[in-house]
Amino acid sequence: MPGLLDIPLELRNHVYEYLLAQDFIPQPRGVICLNERYIKSYFPPQCYRGLLHVCRQTYHEFKAAIQHEADANRLHYELTVEFNHGRPYYSLTWIRFPGLSPTINSLTINVDLHLREPYGDGSEPGNADFMKLLEQPGRANFAERLLDSHLPVLLSTLSGLLHDGLMKERVLYVENLTINLKWPTQYAGTIGSSLVNPRGREYQVTSGRVRVGEKEAKELDITMRRSLSLTVADFGAHVVVLEHRAPEKLVQIGCLRLATEGDVWATGNNLDLRDDKFGWLRY
């Protein structure tokens, strides 16, 4: 029976492209403290990883296949970060992760806000916890936690894997990074239970969460936009460095986009990440 290296290169390239395009089932992971070890432990499963260790030929061919996908603008990554009102934890869910690559065409970070989920005793989180999550300064609100802590750790880990692993790349380049605010949701009850609506009619709960009303969603969006804008405006300035003099973990971002439900409302160009801190490039 012929092996992988016995078939023509054109067919092997189709195999590589198929493996890079494989879907996986998103699995939410609860987090209290995000660190490099956690990120490495819970990367989406990728069946092609063994190919990188088979021999030099498959390693170089697969690396070329990844670069071809990047050149064709097909390397799109998506991660959802769920912030829970009144809870010290949050959760991460990879939606798309084609593979480890020194070039990422787009990385979308969805911010999913969960409200009013009751505690074990039936009480709901208070408004003070809510406002702390939305806009209290000092790394307490979602924007500072996301941009000053969670995202730098994530990107630094990806960069470190590229540099320390087989690829030996010095720079991770993200062409487009989008922070996308999702429509907030609130607790609707235990699935299958019976509740009574404001008109006195009984109904069955078919989903554990439902969207908040339009008026509340707009008010929350204004507050969340303000928190994101203030955090981004607080980024410092970084002097441009040549690639061969780059630090071991350097992440360059061509365009940062802030959006709500996919509609972009702010952009910024030429950002990088050094020593786990974002800064605008100064030429």
**47 residue type, one letter:** C
- Residue 253 domain-assigned? yes
- Residue 106 domain-assigned? yes
Q: Which of 51-60, 128-137, 256-265 has the lowest mean pLDDT?
A: 128-137
Confidence tier at 180 by pLDDT (50, 70, 90): very high
The SS3 call for residue 101 is coil
- Residue 205 domain-assigned? no
- The first and second tokens of residue 229, run together, are 């804008």
pLDDT in tens, 100-113: 788 999 999 999 98
- The pairing of strands 250-260 and 171-181 is parallel
Bridge partners, residue 237, by sequence: 280
pLDDT of residue 189: 65
User: SS3 string of 5-62?
Assistant: HHCCHHHHHHHHHHHHCCCCCCCCEEECCCCHHHHHHCCCCCCCHHHHHCCHHHHHHH
Q: Which domain holds residue 169?
A: 4-185+213-282
- The first and second tokens of residue 151, run together, are 């995202």
pLDDT of residue 49: 65
**63 residue type, one letter:** K
pLDDT at 203 over 50: no
Q: Which of 38-52, 173-187, 211-225 has the lowest mean pLDDT?
A: 38-52
Question: What's the chain's average pLDDT?
Answer: 79
pLDDT of residue 255: 97
pLDDT in tens, 128-146: 666 767 766 665 688 888 8
- Residue 57 domain-assigned? yes
Higher per-residue confidence, 244 vs 36: 36
- Residue 206 domain-assigned? no
pLDDT at 56 over 70: yes
pLDDT of residue 205: 44
- Residue 204 domain-assigned? no
- The first and second tokens of residue 66, run together, are 């990844």
CB neighbourhood size of 248 (10 A): 10
Confidence tier at 44 by pLDDT (50, 70, 90): low
Nearest by Cα to 268 from 154, 178, 155: 178
pLDDT in tens, 204-237: 444 567 888 899 899 999 999 999 999 999 998 8
Confidence tier at 48 by pLDDT (50, 70, 90): low
- Residue 231 domain-assigned? yes
Higher per-residue confidence, 245 vs 89: 89
Name every residue whose Cβ is closer than 8 Å to that of residue 204 and which is 6 or more positions away in sequence.
192, 193, 194
Per the CB < 8 A criterion, the answer to whether 26 and 94 are in contact is: yes
∠245-145-102 over CA atoms, to 5°? 35
- In terms of DSSP H, where are the helices of 99-164? 127-135, 142-145, 151-164
Q: What is this structure's pTM?
A: 0.83
Q: Which helix (H) or strand (E) holds 69?
A: helix 56-71
Name every residue whose Cβ is closer than 8 Å to that of residue 197 and which is 6 or more positions away in sequence.
203
Burial class (CB in 10 A: 0-12, 13-18, 19+), 77: buried
- Residue 199 domain-assigned? no
- The pairing of strands 277-282 and 236-239 is parallel
**238 residue type, one letter:** H
How many structural domains compose the chain? 1
Per the CB < 8 A criterion, the answer to whether 98 and 16 are in contact is: no
